[in-house]
Amino acid sequence: MSLFGDLKSSLSGNQSVDPSLQTFLELEQKKQTIYNSAMVEIQIIMARIEKEQSAIGAKAYSLFREGKLSQEELAENFESLTKTIDTYEEKQNKLNEIMERYDGELQILRPASSEGAACPNCQKPYTAGISVFCSGCGCKL
């Protein structure tokens, strides 16, 4: 089961959307849902990176104490950690890519009434009268 696979197919099946406020809001909500669930997955990987790094540290120290620390002893850990970090970067990049595509569609659908409204903190455009918090920096609008 791949969350990111599902995200891609759900996005590509949504190319010709009606330029209405309803569609805009639905898309914005969908983007937020996707972002939240992807972040849950990404945070699990981040925790795994920390755990693996700490395992390397503990193993290295114990080998050092025994006077037999060499790179070969840690090769497996390094390999595993590198894989985890690659997965993390891959997922983060995919999420950014998906978020950009949503932003592009949202930009097209954005209601005219909200034009010109931007976050005072990070300048990210928002929907006036609808958005309560900035989706860019989280500050109150």
Q: Which residues bind Zn ion (CB under 5 A)?
A: 119, 121-122, 124, 134, 136-137
| Minimum gap (Å) between residue 23 Cβ and Zn ion | 24
CA–CA distance, 77 with 52 (Å, rounded to integer): 7
Residue closer to Zn ion (CB basis): 17 or 137: 137
Residue with Cβ nearer Zn ion (5 or 138): 138
The residue (of 47 and 122) whose beta carbon lies closer to Zn ion is 122
Phi-psi category of 20—alpha, beta or left, where left has phi over 0 and alpha has psi -120 to 50?
A: beta
- In this structure, what is the dihedral angle of CA atoms 22, 26, 29, 31, given to the nearest 10 degrees? -130
Closest contact distance (angstroms) between CB of 134 and Zn ion is: 3
3-state secondary structure of 140: strand
First-residue to last-residue Cα distance in the chain? 37
CB of residue 125 to Zn ion, shortest distance in Å = 10
